[in-house]
Chain A
Amino acid sequence: MPLELFSQYLFAGITYGIIYAIVAIGFNIIYNTTGIINFAQGEFVMLGGMISISLNSLMPLPLAIVCAVFITMLFGGLLEIVFIRWLESPSVLRMIIITIGLSIVIREVALHIWGDGVRALPYFTGNVVSSVQILGASISPQVLWALAVCSIMVLMLSLFFKFTSLGREMQACASNRLAATLCGINARNMVTFSFMLSAAIGAVAGCVVSPITSTQYDMGTGLAIKGFTVAVLGGLGNSMAAVAAGLLLGIIEAFSVGVGFPLVFQDAIAISILLVILFVRPHGLFGNKEAAGLKEF
């Protein structure tokens, strides 16, 4: 395989991988504080994209993105307050079913608001046909944007969880909710915060990838499945691992095309990997078996 083709596949893989990784990070944050998988995470991505596209006709792009992220964040918090917060010691299964239900409702509401058309934000730099040459491959500058935004986000998240008191309280809830409550941490607020945080991250992702993938009302489901695969592959709850796993899956998918694996089975790769991981290493590639054993789900 010539270098040019190799790097073209590599960057295609990185493009897929980043998108999966950002969705997986959203899963992880909520999983960390609540122990549930929020299947409406893909819908946050869709909402971020859609809202910013609508706002972009009224205001400049950066402002539209900031507003969209903020609105989606409030929406995420509101969802938690209305549908999850008041539940008395809900079972994991019940909460998961609630999030699946919410994802369906959000999707249908989005269909009524924005219709079925495919929309996209303008490219942050250059336009749809511009490309940058790296290692002989032509890549859209938007891929570099996505890569940069994703890296900054992961960095800021790890700083947030390590050095801010709010972040550490959320971590404490994740490790042991009862103990955290005994120390005076309001665990319910932490759950709301986690929904807001992951909604915001989803919305950022939705804005950054919108020029690449376009935004459509039903894009969330597919993203949620891939994001979930990546989150499990990396080890649930570990954001750094999610990035690594995301890139790994993306690159595997891209090269599977290169070696002549039928493109239409691309999704089967992700699902097969998910099954293998669940059978062989349920705590993920980078996860800790003992830590995973303490979790309810």
Chain B
Amino acid sequence: MKSMFSGMAAVACAMMLFVAAPASADIKVGAILAETGGASFLGGPEARTIRMQVEEINAAGGINGEKIDLVVKDSAANPQKAISFAKQLIEEEKVIAILGPSTSGESMKLKAICEKSQTILMSCGAAEVIVNPVAKWVFKTPQTDSFAAQKIFMTMNDLGITKIAILAGNTGFGKAGRSQLKKYAPQFHITILEDEVYDKKATDLSAVVAKIKANKDVQAVVNWSIVPAQAIVAKNMRQAGWAVPLFQSHGFGNVKYIEAAGEAAEGIIFPSGRLLAADVLATSHPQKAVLGKYIADYMAKYDGEQASTFGGHGFDAIMILAKAIENAGSSDKAKVRDAIENLSNHAGTGGVYNFSATDHNGLGIDAFEMMTVKNGKFVLYTK
């Protein structure tokens, strides 16, 4: 084995003598995404999108003449796996940046590792804690959950809703969302009357729906969870004949969830990036072109599979990195990092990004639109 390695190394050295001088090496970029496992609805579209975009960039001749060499690792949403893959990517593959991970929990584990090894991390996790407090090398592309919570409360203020019930799944996403809701409720003069956390694998929530329904003062319900509970809450509420407005988190942004909830999805109100509203955006909107192209490309490449906001997080991660490499004029990771921090007015799928030394997400509350479901389709919410 050893002799084989040294033999290979010798051949490689010899080859490098011939080719090393003119062509610059490829840019190594790693990605750690939950392609399988419980968060595969996030990691799957993200990985497919990133592969698609890298192919496109390389087919167009790369960035500044350098091609991207992408290494994707499947963490299955397991933080321990994510950590070992990150170490492997950093130490062995010597990547300049890691795209992902898909979940907030994994991202928090990698925050310190990337900071220490000075590797760029472009997280696809939603939680605000990933970039607050700011870590020098850590960025994230999805809209922040605190803005989602505030956007929901702003809509409630418009509707004159002041007393609500919160339901949340016991995932990292659900817990983070619930704490944001509780944090911002007083600012918007909203009282939380009922507050329940359920298991992420719950298959029927009619008992808890009965419980909160018994509280006659509840004017609206906010559910903060991932599939399939999002659909189950909606079904159980409608079956119980309870017609108060149901708000969901920005995790509801996938057409599949409407299918899962069927008619019960009608009228659900939730904040979302503009990906779902791409076809109703004004042509002058800065995101219009990028969204239209991404949605069409993804559908063409993956046999009619509809693009989701989650795939969009992957799109933004790779495209921000590519733009920063282009702006830096180099693939030196320190220069690229500075270029990300200086990136402004970058239209992505999640919004228009304006990064700064203190803002490593680059999105404001205006990245969200309130959406609702009408006749089985997502439409912009109007009062």
Task: Give chain A's interface residues, CB within 8 Å of chain B.
Answer: 2, 5, 8-9, 11-13, 15-16, 19, 108, 111, 115-120, 122, 127-131, 137-140, 209, 212-214, 216, 218-219, 222-223, 253-255, 257-258, 262-264, 266-267
Contact = CB atoms under 8 A, between A and B. Distances in A.
A219 to B, nearest CB: 7
Interface in B28-50: 36, 38, 40-41, 44
Contacts of B275: none
A128 B236 CA distance: 9
B208 A118 contact: no
A264 B206 contact: no
B254 to A, nearest CB: 9
Contacts, number: 117
Interface in B158-202: 170, 196-199, 201-202
B199 A15 contact: no
Interface in B225-245: 227-228, 231-232, 235, 238-241
Contacts of A257: 207-208, 210-211
Contacts of B214: 2, 5
A258 B214 CA distance: 10
A210 to B, nearest CB: 11
A127 B207 contact: no
B44 A116 contact: yes
A140 B262 contact: no
A12 B210 contact: yes
Contacts of B263: 127-129
Interface residues of B, number: 37
A258 to B, nearest CB: 6
B262 A11 contact: no
Contacts of B227: 117-118, 216
A8 B260 contact: no
B347 to A, nearest CB: 29
Contacts of A8: 206-207, 210, 240
Contacts of A131: 239-241
The residue among B44, B204, B232, B260 with the most chain A CB atoms within 10 A of its own CB is B204
17 contacts: A8-B207, A8-B210, A111-B36, A115-B44, A117-B41, A128-B264, A139-B239, A212-B203, A213-B232, A218-B38, A222-B203, A258-B210, A263-B197, A263-B202, A264-B170, A264-B198, A264-B199
B257 interface: yes
Interface in B83-135: none
